[in-house]
Amino acid sequence: MKLEAVSGLSQQALIIDVAAKVLADNITSLMCSAAADQSNLASRSRKCNRSYAAIFMQRVLPRLVLFIGDVCSAIHDAIAMLGTNTQRFKPGRSQPRPSRHVKPHPSCSYKA
C-alpha cells in the first residue's frame, strides 16, 4: 500500500490511516477511468499512468476534500491532466523474472 508511516501508535490510528489510503486509491482509480473515458484511451491501447496519478492526487486531494477554491474546475483540470499523461499498454506482455538467478554474494541475513 506504500504507507510509509502511521499517524498514531494505536490500532485505531492504523485502521484510520489504512482506510484513508484505500479511499485515496479508489478516488485516484475513478479519476483515471474518467480520464481514460474522456481521452478515449481504450481505443488507442493506452492507459492512465497510475504512478503519476498517485503522486498528482496527493497534491489535489486536500483541495478537493476541504472544498478550497472551485472544486468542479479542479476536478476537470485533474481529469484533463491525467488524460494527457498516459503510457502504452501491450496486452499479453509479461516479463517474468529469470528462474534460478544466482546472486554474486550471500544475502544480508546470512550469518556465517
For the segment 43-71, what is each residue's pLDDT rounded down to a tens digit? 667 788 888 898 898 888 888 888 888 88
**What range defines the domain where residue 20 resides?**
11-88
Q: What is the pTM of this model?
A: 0.68
In a domain, 96, yes or no: no
Report how far Cα 36 is from the mean position of its chain's Cα atoms: 15
In a domain, 110, yes or no: no
Domain count along the chain = 1
Q: How many CB atoms lie within 10 A of CB 41?
A: 19
In a domain, 111, yes or no: no
* pLDDT confidence tier of residue 1, bands split at 50, 70 and 90: low
Whether pLDDT at 42 is above 70:
no
In a domain, 112, yes or no: no
Whether pLDDT at 12 is above 90:
yes
Residues 89, 49: contact at Cβ < 8 Å? no
In a domain, 50, yes or no: yes
In a domain, 93, yes or no: no
Q: Is 9 exposed, middle or buried (0-12, 13-18, 19+ CB in 10 A)?
A: exposed
d(CA 4, CA 10) in angstroms, rounded, equals: 16
